[in-house]
Every structure is written in structure tokens, then in C-alpha cells.
Chain A
Amino acid sequence: MSTAAGPPTERATGQPAAPPAAGRERNTGEMVMSLLLAALGVYLLVDAGAIAVPGSSNTVGPRFFPYAVGGLTVATGTALAIRTLRGDRGPSDDSEDVDLDAPTDWRAVAVIAVAFLAHAVLINVIGWPLAAALMFAAVAWALGAVGVVRPFLIGLTAACIVWIVFVKALNVALPGGVVLEYLTSWF
């Protein structure tokens, strides 16, 4: 069924300029994903055996469904790995702002992931508005915004407004940081 080497989507066939190297790289990546999926299935099968089954439980206990899901996962992962090995490729997701011909910008992904993680750690230390503003600036910078100060100020203004709306008007629990909580304590 996958003797034809052409990519399944027409969008892809319409772009003969795409470098073949990118195609090979993507294929390997999906292969790794499929094998990881199969490994997840194996983990499910193995670890399901470790789930404690209460003595009073009848024939179908808490292990049954994990075994079924594990089996399905192993089968799917293996089948997909074989398919990708034979050259089958999934169409990359299309979106309004995505340039399918662009090479993957791993640096931007890494910057955003680190900024997000830092923001998660910082929320309880410096408050949500400041942490969110820092992340906003870092992400905007990674995506090609000019400068860092302007994105930061925009992010800080937006975050403070959102914080006031959520905390003061909607009563959502959200640490505001010392300064903002002091300034708005008269609400």
C-alpha cells in the first residue's frame, strides 16, 4: 500500500522545492515518535501487572483496561513505525500562520519552553503578573518581535489588567506579587 513514494498530501507534492534532507529528517523523527509510542505501550503492559488488585474485586479488576490500552498502543506504535520505515509521511498540521516550507526553528521552541518553565517556577516567588510579563517578553522575542523592553511593558500592562480582573472581579486565586498586592489592597 505504500509502494508509492510520493507524500500523501497534495500540498506537499505542490512544493517540489522542499529539500529532500528535511524530508528524511522528518521521517526519522516520526519513526522515533512511533517507537516511543510502542515503548509507552510496553510500559503500560508491564506496569499494569503491578497495580494492586483488592481481594474482594470480581473477575474484571483495575488491570483489565490498562492491558487492553497497552496492547492497542504497542500494536499502533509498531504499525506506524513500519509505515514510516516504508516512507509514509504524515502531513504537517496546517495553520494560518505556519509556513510549511520553513525549516523547523528548534531555537525558538527551546527558548519558549525554557521561558514557560521559568514562569511556572517564578509565579509563587515574584507573582503572576511579573512572571507572565517576563514570559511574554521572552516568547515575543523568540518569535521575532523588535526589542525586549517594549514587549515586556506590553506584557506587564496586559498581565496587571488581567490580574486585577481575575482577582478583584472574579475572585480567582492568583498570586499578585508584593507590589501589586500592596497597591490594590484598598479594593
Chain B
Amino acid sequence: MNGAVIIPLCLFLVLIFFIGFSASKVVRSSDSFLTEYFLGGRELGGLLLAMTMVATYGSASSFIGGPGVAYTEGFGWVLLAMSQVVTGYFVLMILGKKFAIMARRYNAVTLIDFLKERYQSKWVVLVAAFSIIVFLFSAMAAQWIGGARLIESVTGISYLGALFIFAVSVLVYVIIGGFRAVALTDTLQGIVMLIGTLILLIATIVAGGGISNIIADLQAENPNLITPYGADGGLSSAYVSSFWILVGVGVVGLPQVTVRAMSYKNSRSMHRALIVGTIVVGFIMLNMHLIGVFARPILPGIEVGDKVMPLIALEVLPAWVAGIVLAAPMAAIMSTVDSLLLLVSSAVVKDVYLNYIEPRASDNRVKKLSISVTAALGIFVFLMAINPPDLLVWLNLFAFGGLEAAFIWPVIFGLYWQKGNKHGALASMLVGIVSYTLLHNFYPSAFGMHTVVLPVLLSLAAFVAGSLLTHSREQRQTIL
């Protein structure tokens, strides 16, 4: 397309690299490589914690897919997206201080470290590591595809070339800078998202002749667009509400989110992050989904939902401002991908290799291995994304739902229910994953709700039953 759009995007990438390099200096000088590389040395302050939470969560599914679906469905989809406000405070309040205290006591660097110490079971660790590697790998592939499509549609470079640019940019700073680089770039990316969506929303409203005018246009085209029920009335209240589990409270179980809840410095950082996170996540979600809806009367007839954001930005803004604004969705994708990459890498190195293959590996060996595993994973995702499956949003949500069903109860009961034990945790993870996979393929949207609801309930039942049934037996053994 034109240079004025591309230059701000390039400047943004340069800035990201710069952050990566300065973080790598801290990694090199740190005396505890694992905690530094995978957790930023547990030093995150309030703003960084809030931003990295929001940015990790505000992924391609909501940023590229979201406004596109809002364009098609109208206000009903904005209503659905606003169920994510709850994540801003719920995750940190629920995991909260208890999780931070326990993680420090166990010296846990990953979610799996926590599960390992809490349940003392090899099988819990292996099932957890396996599901993180499989599910997050597919989530990551979905995100890379989104990033490459975005670069493709903005710059006109071929999909392969765009994928290459995207892969190199992310890989460089994650590999050298670790979690600290991820958190710092997430903060920058979060700020870009916040400002970018605000500018674009205002410009869209102005281009549409004011809110009342846009609403009148929408109502004239299809009155359903301004109801909570979607363009063809297909969004039932049960379906929309069930997203409170998928993208709202269920997020407590996502490993990429929980790992952040053990990374902060002190309770003051956590308190600050609660407030900042709630405001930022709500603001970004509201803005960007409204952009999708408001774009409809201005640019009717866009068929590929993923292109709504880039096209409306180019339509209503001067080219160089569009470049800055379009850095926002790219920021969203990069900030999700970077944390997933690091998490999958930590599952391989820390949870599998160090636990069961070579517990006595030297620090230097761990360092080399972490960096090369991260790089190898990145290249592997790149190869997967060259010939990608089609449904971006659903591939991504599949991964989220599966992980939530697997981890939510082992995490929550691990913290708050003393009778919870390894049998319950293992049963809960297996039931969650298997039922999610089966229901997703054979009986989606049971009772008109999103597929995630039943597996979460089933894994709850499995945890409670598994723990209580084995509880008395274990007690007898300890007495004997």
C-alpha cells in the first residue's frame, strides 16, 4: 500500500526490538536464570502487571476477529465482548495473594510447578504439560496467522512474506529477553491499543456523522443490529451469557494468565494492577467492538471480517495516523504470541526436561536449552502457519476452552480446598479435556450455550468426586 502507513509500523517494530535487547542485558546478568527468563525475577510493578495481563488476553480472537464479528452481528456482539471486563479484577482477586504466597513458598516458576508441589503427582504434571503444549500450540498458530493476515492486508506483501516478518519480530525479542521483555513490550503494546482504539473510534464516529446518525443508519438497514440478539436474532441470552465463562471468569484457569499472577513484586503492585487492569480491559474492549459496529454504515459490504479494522482505519484516518492505529492490532497479536511462546517453552524445559529427564542440568545448560527450545518452537509454529486451517477465531477459542476446562478446578481447589487431592485433580483435567474435545466435535452448543460450559461443570464434578472418594482411604494410609 503506501509508505505513510508502513513507516509507523516499522518504527513500532524497531522500538520493540530495542526493548528486547535492553531486557536481555538483565537476563544475562541475573544469577537465577529460570526465574528471570520465565518470570521476570518476580519484580513486576502494578502498571506492568495490569498491562501484560490485558495484552496477553486481548488476542487476535478479540482484536481481529472481534470487530469483524461485531460488524456482522451489531450491538449484540459488543454486549458479549463486555463480559471480559470481569477478567480485569476477577483473576487477580481470586488467585490473589494466596497464589502469590504459595508460588513463592513452592518456588514455582510455572503453573505446573504449583500443581506439582500442591498435588505431589507425576501424572498431574505430565497431563498438564501435555495439554499446555498441545492446546497453546494451536492457539499460537491461530495468532500467527492473524498477524500475518493483518500485515498482508495493510502492506500488500504476500502472506508468506508477512508471516516471515511477523515471526522474526516476535522471535527475536522473546528469545533474547524472556518474560521481562514480554512484559515490557506488552505494556507498550497495551498503551498502543488503548490510544489506537480511542483515536479510531472517534474518527469513525465523526466519519459516520455522529452516533445518532450511525444508529439510525443501522436501524434502517436491519433493526436487529441494534438489539442484543444479533443480526438474524440468533444470539440468545443463554449463549451470550455463557461467554462469561469462556472469556470472563474461566480465564482464571488459563496458564498464560495464572503465570502472571505469580510474577508481581508485592501486594501494592497487585492492588494497582486490579484497578488499572479493569479500566484498561473494559476501555479497549468497548472501543474496538464499537468500531466494528460503527464501521458498517460507513463501509458496507466487507465480506472478510478480519479486514474490517484495517479497512476502516485506512478509510477514516490520514495514512500516517492509520499506520499508528494499525500497530494496535498487531501489538495485540504479538503480545499474545510472545507469552504463549514463552509458556510452551517453559512447559518443555522446566516442567518436562528438568523434572523428569535431567533434574541435575547445569545452569548454563538450562540457559542454552531454554533459548534453543523457544527458537525451535517458534520456527515450528511458523512452518505450521504457512498452510493454515481457516477458522481463526474458533481454533483459538478451542484452545482457550480446552485449557480452562482442564485447569480451572485444579487451580482453584488447589488453593482453597484442603481436601482436594491428586486423584481429584487428575480426574478433573482428564474429564475436562476429553469432554471438551468430544462435545466440541459432536455436540457443540449444548442447551444453547457455548461448548465450554458443560466440560467446566463436568470437571468440577470429577474433581469433587475424585477427591472425596479417595479422601478417607488416603487418611487411613497416613494413620497407618
Q: Do A and B come from one complex?
A: no
- Residues of chain A whose beta carbon lies under 8 Å from any beta carbon of chain B: none
- Residues of chain B whose beta carbon lies under 8 Å from any beta carbon of chain A: none
